[in-house]
Amino acid sequence: MPTRHLLARAQGVWVELAGAPAAFGPAGGARVVVSPASGLCPPGWTGLVVLGGSALATAPDAPAAEAVRRALSALPPEAAATGAIRDVLPVADVLGPAALSYLAEDRFRSVPGAATADRLPGRHPAVRALEQAAGDDDTAEAALDDITSPAFVVRARGEVVAAAGYRGWPGRTAHLSVLTAPAARGRGLARTAASAAVGHALAAGLLPQWRARPPASRRVAAALGFEELGAQLSFVLTVGEAAPR
């Protein structure tokens, strides 16, 4: 699949999530829409997604939208999405940035051992035990409890030490979740579990999407053939101080 077609599919996912009539800006530009029901960010926040050098932002109300629109006119989209928005707007809190990567089927580099991964229900006690071992931060990042696919797991001495799955998103998208026990990291187990989940998604005709902040997770995505196309950032403006600095 050519990168331009992959990019168009990826942008379509976020346009659908915007919760209001929306589109990405022109190359190097941004479009901002008011959407209290946006799926780009938590309620009451502003969401910013940059893909292929173009940005789409949703704001909870008109004053916030105008402030963000002015700020983005002075920043390249990639800089804004990697956190520079905080230099020009009064940001009270932020989530991200997270890299967004997508996979074309003809670029998938599957792991030979993926066929040995077991399948479990996403809420199986063995998967919950893995989350407890990984700790709250890594568990929240992986969000395995959100998956709608089976959990594809790798075991060691009978215990699940790595798991992956995906949640169905708009636009026939498979949003990947991957988690490895701390003591089992660095052994390629995340790649094995993720490869099984990605293969399952591709067989169903879905677009695999990988969203990650940790560099290690981004390296796993790249090893499987994912192409990093942009980033996502969510932020909330300080109440009463929406004007650009």
CA distance linking residue 149 with residue 140, whole number of Å: 18
Instruction: Look at 31-40, 42-51, 78-87, 141-150 and tell me which has the smallest mean pLDDT.
Output: 78-87
For residue 210, count other CB atoms closer than 10 A to its CB. Answer: 27
The DSSP H or E segment spanning 165 is strand 159-169
In the chain, the domains with their CATH numbers are 3-99+230-237 (no CATH), 109-224 (3.40.630.30)
> Which CA distances in Å does 49 have to 22, 123, 191, 209, 239?
12, 30, 26, 14, 22
239 pLDDT band, cuts 50/70/90, is low
- Tokens standing for 78? 């990639």
pLDDT value of position 1: 53
- Mean pLDDT value of segment 124-144: 92
When pLDDT is cut at 50, 70 and 90, the band that residue 82 belongs to is confident
Q: Is residue 97 a contact partner of residue 231, using CB atoms and an 8 Å limit?
A: yes
Output phi, psi for 220, to 5 deg.
-65, -45
User: Helix count (H) and strand count (E) of the chain?
Assistant: 7, 10
User: Residue 57 corresponds to which tokens in the numbers above?
Assistant: 């932002």
Provide Rg for the chain, Cα atoms.
Answer: 19
4: helix, strand or coil: helix
CB within 8 Å of 72: residues ≥ 6 apart: 30, 32, 55, 57, 80, 85
Q: What is the pLDDT of residue 240?
A: 57
More confident residue, 229 or 112: 229
Q: In this predicted structure, what is the pLDDT of residue 215? A: 92
- Encode pLDDT of 182-200 as tens digits: 999 989 999 999 999 999 9
pLDDT at residue 213 greater than cutoff 70: yes
User: What is the pTM (predicted TM-score) of this model?
Assistant: 0.93
- In tens, the pLDDT along 12-40 reads 999 999 999 999 999 999 999 999 999 99
pLDDT at 128 over 70: yes
Structural tokens at position 86: 């905080």
**What's residue 193's pLDDT?**
96
At 143, give phi and psi (nearest 5°).
55, 45
10 Å Cβ neighbour count for 50?
A: 28
Torsion 190-196-199-204 (CA) sign: negative
Residues 29 and 88: their CA atoms lie apart, in Å, by 16
Cis omega (within 30 of 0) for bond into 42: no
How is residue 171 written in tokens?
């636009």
